[in-house]
Chain A
């Protein structure tokens, strides 16, 4: 529990991020928080905002609202996602900036498509034998893992283990905020997984020193800035890349499969005109983002957000699912509308720490969607609602479908 208390007059609510209500359908609560004010105090000891403009204001000021708390503890202080000092951050992120350029990533299109088609071929074969495979572990979850591992030069044989570590890490924040670092079982399980993945990546880094390739690990090991880094700094940066390239996209793909089942009219529009797919996927990200909680910590006594002075050290949790349905930015925001005016939503973050891999994620989602719809142009979910494991990193699963409809 944090020792902070809200100033008199501040709107106060009690929201349990671990409740099944927040996992399964957080939107009514997010709407309530958004309507209560630009900043709302959670009785559990931190501020929250569910407004788009306030999120952008916070994210654009990494110097005073930084990765002080949960993010830094999760990724490690030397990972560039934890570094708010712009020059240092950019020097580290710059190692991989070229690798994530649109024109450079284009060569991966065929790799992504082949992985997706191979996985779906197996899925379809299982349907033919009368099985009903869960699409999360057979498709949504492994696809981004194989792609980022391919880019990092990690052998396919390690994939299952890497996915398991990554899943445990993704679960780290599921015990609620502020995190009880000494006792929260989800956090502690994530810590163990981070340590094991870290150990494996140390070996990979060492190997690349003498076996330089084109892969992302070789790129940092043999970069100018890489040569100045400690082994630990190299590892945490590599680990952050692997993790970020894994969990978010996997959950996005799961949301896409579910959204296209529940909205057959959208699915049919995409099938008729695949040039609509990219904007449809963006709209699904707005409507059902994966990362729902983005925490920042206040630095110093002079930080004012939305006209409210905040205490040094207090955490502000941005509720991106609320911000992405803010009527100040989006007309009729609760509705999935693939034809709405295209605007950047906060699903991939904003400003200094916005997603490095957004272009890759979009390529993966596009290829995955087209490959999936080519095999399953018509399908229905077997159950009306899927469940969601956690609120902070939210994605549906298991997903079972009936090809061709019931």
Chain B
């Protein structure tokens, strides 16, 4: 087992049943989040690149109902 020096990657999880369609995520990070016909959050990407992480974190923090969670991506690296 070699030591992994790359930072842990994150992936987006949305909890659609918590969403109140405020649209905050889509305002802050439109490249990462959209809304379906009913206004409910839709993640446009799942696994985040290092460049996308800050925007995703802002969107998650701005969600009024914590419907966006950034989880450790424990899958295989690209």
Contact = CB atoms under 8 A, between A and B. Distances in A.
Interface of A: 56-57, 59-60, 86, 90, 94, 97-98, 100-104, 341-344, 348-352, 354-356, 358-359
Contact of A358 (B19, B38, B64): B64
Nearest to A60: B39
Which of B27, B28, B63, B64 has the most A CB atoms < 10 Å from its CB? Answer: B64
B30 to A, nearest CB: 11
A354 B38 contact: no
Nearest to A356: B64
A358 B21 CA distance: 13
**Residues of B contacting A: mostly:** loop
Contact of B17 (A98, A102, A103, A344): A344
Contacts of B42: none
Contacts of A344: 17-20, 65, 67
Interface string B1-32: 00000000000000001111111100110000
B39 A101 contact: no
B54 interface: no
Contacts of B67: 344
A-B pairs, top 5 by smallest CB distance, nearest first, are A351-B21, A358-B64, A60-B39, A354-B20, A343-B17
A350 B24 contact: no
A97 B59 CA distance: 11
Interface in B18-71: 18-24, 27-28, 38-39, 61-67
A354 B18 contact: no
B39 to A, nearest CB: 5
A350 B27 contact: no
Nearest to A278: B66
Contacts of B28: 97
Given A344-B18, A344-B19, A60 B38 contact: yes
Contact of B21 (A60, A86, A90, A97): A60
Contacts of A351: 20-23, 39
A354 B64 contact: yes
25 contacts: A57-B38, A60-B21, A60-B38, A60-B39, A90-B27, A97-B24, A97-B62, A101-B62, A102-B61, A102-B66, A103-B61, A342-B17, A342-B18, A344-B18, A344-B19, A344-B67, A348-B20, A349-B20, A350-B20, A351-B20, A352-B21, A352-B23, A354-B22, A355-B64, A356-B64
A286 B19 CA distance: 15
A98 B61 CA distance: 9
Which of B20, B38, B66, B67 has the most A CB atoms < 10 Å from its CB? Answer: B20
A348 B38 CA distance: 17
A35 B19 CA distance: 26
Nearest to A357: B64
B64 A350 contact: no
A56 B16 CA distance: 14
A94 B59 CA distance: 13
Given A97-B62, A101-B61, 7 more contacts: A56-B38, A56-B39, A57-B38, A90-B23, A342-B18, A351-B39, A352-B23
A56 B17 CA distance: 13
A60 B36 CA distance: 11
Contacts of B22: 351-352, 354
A359 B23 CA distance: 15
A119 B17 CA distance: 36
Nearest to B24: A97
Contacts of A86: 23
Contact of A350 (B39, B62, B63): B39
A349 B65 CA distance: 12
Contacts of A59: 21
Contacts of A354: 20-22, 64
Contacts of B39: 56, 60, 350-351
Nearest to B63: A102
B23 A348 contact: no
Contacts of B17: 341-344
Contacts of A341: 17
A404 to B, nearest CB: 36
A101 B22 CA distance: 13
Contacts of B66: 102
A101 B62 CA distance: 5
Which of B22, B23, B62 has the most A CB atoms < 10 Å from its CB? Answer: B22
B64 to A, nearest CB: 4
A215 to B, nearest CB: 20
Given A348-B64, A358-B64, A343 B18 contact: yes
